[in-house]
Amino acid sequence: MEALGSDVTRPQYRVYKRRFWGLAQLVLLNIVVSWDWLTFSSISTTAADYFQVSESAINWMSTGYLFAFCIVSPFVIWVLNKGGPRPAIITTATLLLVGNWLRYAGTRANGGIFGLAMFGQILIGLAQPFCLCAPTRYSDLWFSDKGRTSATAVASLANPLGAAIGQLVDSEWVTKPSDIPNMVLYISIISSVASIPSFFIPAAPPTPPSASSAIPRTPLIPATQKLLGTVEFWLILVPFAVYVGFFNSVSSLLNQILSPYGASETEAGIAGAILIVVGLITAAIMSPITDRYKHYLGSIRVLVPIVVASYIGLIFAPGSPAGIGPSYVVMALMGASSFALLPIVLEYLVEITYPFSPEIGSTICWTGGQLLGACFILIQDALKAGDNASPPFNMRNALIFAAVVAAAAAPFPLSLSLFGRVVKRRRLEIDRGVELSPSNSAEQARPDSSTKDEIKSSSALKESTIKDV
């Protein structure tokens, strides 16, 4: 890799203040879509009484949501790749509007029609991937290297923030089965108000924010094929899917994990909120630091063992003689490590797979997480103890399963850049004016011939000046 000459001037790239409007809308949509996902999980017992179904059927409200994500994800990649974030955001808003009001009809009509409520829930599930997979694409399109990780963190972690709101608010709004229709009505109104601005956000900035954004990306099909044949991608995909999957299952089953030991639905809601709020605070601290120092891999190697330790701790915390306190501590540890890790991994994936478009890898990873989340909910629900256990219906075996699988996934990210494979931050090198060499070890990101010419042309220039206008 050669140093750049000092006699060439790179164009001046700009970031626009309007980028925050689209980011704010992406945040709003991720909040409400996640709130919708966990509407019934923190009140699973009460919801089962209202619809006159089992708690396992209520679990399907979350599980079906996750399977819906997997079904629509190929179309999500295509929309984000061809149209960018704006059509994906509009699709999210449209599905949210329709799904929420159908779900409300299902809870209000004839004392509750479970099938109609489930159909509305699935439509909302179809909406989620369009906004959840958009942050890396949006930050790449609108932000420079000085703010991408923070932008991705804000938009991605708004999703679990919505889950925290749901864990706290839903259990306060519902104290008896007859409260459920009003709860769903309030959520539908909030979701509708949050969705309307989606139709007015700008599609793209007038000029690129950085050199890497100005370079054409590898076409969708070749990029996907090369990505799936890359070792480094799988070293990220496997743990990402496992840890997101367990976050989804733990969030959905938290009430059932804690209630056998005497915890109330309100205490379970507080535990879920601690998981998410502590995580958000930690991510808010870590993301700007990562934006500044770019220590992606070092952060991953520190945070992954902490994530594993938290799942091991969750085996013992619910049954602790100290009461609910140890569960709160474990939730805080799990949230801090998991949430700090999420945007770092997403941005690192974009860095090492450049010049592939960001949504390809991120959508595949999110889809893996949602698919495993659905599977983990079903498996952990099946591992629930019977009524003759001590205590009845405890989920200790389910938590042991989670800890073992989480530990088994840990060596994958810890192996990155080892065994002679040097993984480079390719997008960052372009932004800093370093020529992207097609001979480096991360061959998965090798561009096609037309893209190489663009990269070499851009890389012959000095570091750009970024203006905020």
Q: Specify if 235 maps to a domain.
A: yes
Contact 266/391 with Cβ under 8 angstroms?
no
CA–CA distance, 291 with 311 (Å, rounded to integer): 28
Structure tokens at 165: 């709101």
CA–CA distance, 455 with 309 (Å, rounded to integer): 42
Contact 117/47 with Cβ under 8 angstroms?
no
Quote the pLDDT of residue 449.
Answer: 42
Per-residue confidence band for 10, with pLDDT thresholds at 50, 70 and 90: low
CATH of the domain at 188: 1.20.1250.20
**Half-sphere exposure at residue 104, Cβ-oriented, CA atoms within 13 angstroms:** 17
Range of 132's domain?
13-468
Per-residue confidence band for 38, with pLDDT thresholds at 50, 70 and 90: confident
CA–CA distance, 106 with 112 (Å, rounded to integer): 6
1 has a pLDDT exceeding 60: no
| Structural domain total, the chain | 1
pLDDT in tens, 386-400: 888 889 989 999 999
Residue 5, φ and ψ in degrees, nearest 5: -70, 160
Q: CB under 8 Å to 234, separation ≥6 — which residues?
A: 412
Q: Specify if 5 maps to a domain.
A: no
Q: Specify if 3 maps to a domain.
A: no
Quote the pLDDT of residue 434.
Answer: 62
- Amino acid type, 19: R
CA–CA distance, 266 with 316 (Å, rounded to integer): 21
Q: Specify if 338 maps to a domain.
A: yes
Per-residue confidence band for 426, with pLDDT thresholds at 50, 70 and 90: confident
Kindly report the CA angle at 174 between 251 and 392, in degrees rounded to 5? 55
Q: Specify if 178 maps to a domain.
A: yes
Q: Specify if 455 maps to a domain.
A: yes
Contact 195/29 with Cβ under 8 angstroms?
yes
pLDDT in tens, 353-387: 888 888 999 999 999 998 898 899 889 989 998 88
Treating both helix axes as pointing N-terminal to C-terminal, what angle do 19-37 and 85-108 enclose, rounded to 10 degrees? 30
For the whole prediction, is pTM greater than 0.75?
yes
Arithmetic mean of pLDDT, 406-420: 90
CA–CA distance, 79 with 92 (Å, rounded to integer): 12
Q: Specify if 182 maps to a domain.
A: yes
Of 214 and 98, the structure prediction assigns the larger pLDDT to 98
Average pLDDT value over all residues in the chain: 85
CA–CA distance, 249 with 62 (Å, rounded to integer): 9
CA–CA distance, 283 with 341 (Å, rounded to integer): 8
Per-residue confidence band for 463, with pLDDT thresholds at 50, 70 and 90: very low
Per-residue confidence band for 465, with pLDDT thresholds at 50, 70 and 90: very low
Q: Specify if 347 maps to a domain.
A: yes
Q: CB under 8 Å to 130, separation ≥6 — which residues?
A: 72, 76, 79, 80, 88, 89, 91, 92, 95
What is the percent of the chain with per-residue pLDDT over 70, rounded to a whole number?
90
Per-residue confidence band for 95, with pLDDT thresholds at 50, 70 and 90: very high
- Residue the block writes with tokens 């007038």: 206
Contact 320/347 with Cβ under 8 angstroms?
no
Per-residue confidence band for 131, with pLDDT thresholds at 50, 70 and 90: very high
Per-residue confidence band for 11, with pLDDT thresholds at 50, 70 and 90: low
Contact 39/187 with Cβ under 8 angstroms?
yes
Lowest mean pLDDT, pick from 75-89, 180-194, 200-214: 200-214
Per-residue confidence band for 170, with pLDDT thresholds at 50, 70 and 90: confident
Residue 66: closest CA among 383, 346, 398, 372: 372
